[in-house]
Each structure stands twice: as structure tokens, then as C-alpha cells.
Amino acid sequence: MAKVNFESIQSVRSLQQLLDYLRDGLDWPIESYDLDELTFEWRANKLNLGETGTRHLADGIVRQLRPLKTGQPWGIFIVEFTDDAVHRGALREILRGLVFNRRRDPSLPAWQHDNLLFVCITKNC
């Protein structure tokens, strides 16, 4: 298992650099940089986001990195904001849409709170 290099993580400033670090620094099996091949899209309506949460997201979507192995218990999500801020309220709404609860669509995958990672990107990232 690869060791995390905190200096390398702190120098990541773009999605491309993040993918490079995951592939080269942590030995993740990332073979493509095409976001359509690498990710699933979660639209705001599937996450039950309100107007405020949706407005803060680029294109009104959240991207999930495809699982690295079958049965993977954790989900990694790329949240791109439309401005220079990370909006905690929007992140709370996204979180509620991804965890088990009675109000969500039971046909969609869900995760435990501790098994979610949000990678946030702002406009000037």
C-alpha cells in the first residue's frame, strides 16, 4: 500500500493534479482522464437538492469516481462549485442525498457517513 505524502496533497491545485496524485502517488488504477469514463454524474434532482444547493454547483451535478473494485464500501465525489467558496450548506444537502434515509430513492446506491469523501473544487482552483 502506498504511503500518503502530505506535501504532495497540499500542492494539488486542479482535478488533473489530483488524478495524477491518486494514480502515481497512491497507485490507484486510474487509466483515463476522461471524466465521462472516470465518473458517474449525480444530478441535483436525484440528490433532492434545493434551489440554493443546486445554484452553487457547476452544471448542477456532482461527479462520483467509479468504484475501484467490486463491493467498494466508500464513495468518492467531486463537487465543483460555481464560485470561489466551498458552500457547507450545499455539502450538507449532497450528504443527505447520498446516505441511507427514508426520503431518498431506494433504488439508488447509498453510503454510511464515514464512507464518503468529497473533493471540492472552486472556480479559481
Q: What is the pLDDT of residue 1?
A: 62
Given a contact cutoff of 8 angstroms between Cβ atoms, the answer to whether 47 and 93 are in contact is yes
Average pLDDT taken over every residue of the chain:
87
Q: Report the range of poorest mean pLDDT among 9-23, 48-62, 109-123.
A: 9-23
Share of the chain above pLDDT 90, in %: 39
Given a contact cutoff of 8 angstroms between Cβ atoms, the answer to whether 119 and 76 are in contact is yes
Q: Are strands 61-65 and 75-80 parallel, antiparallel or unpaired?
A: antiparallel
pTM value?
0.84
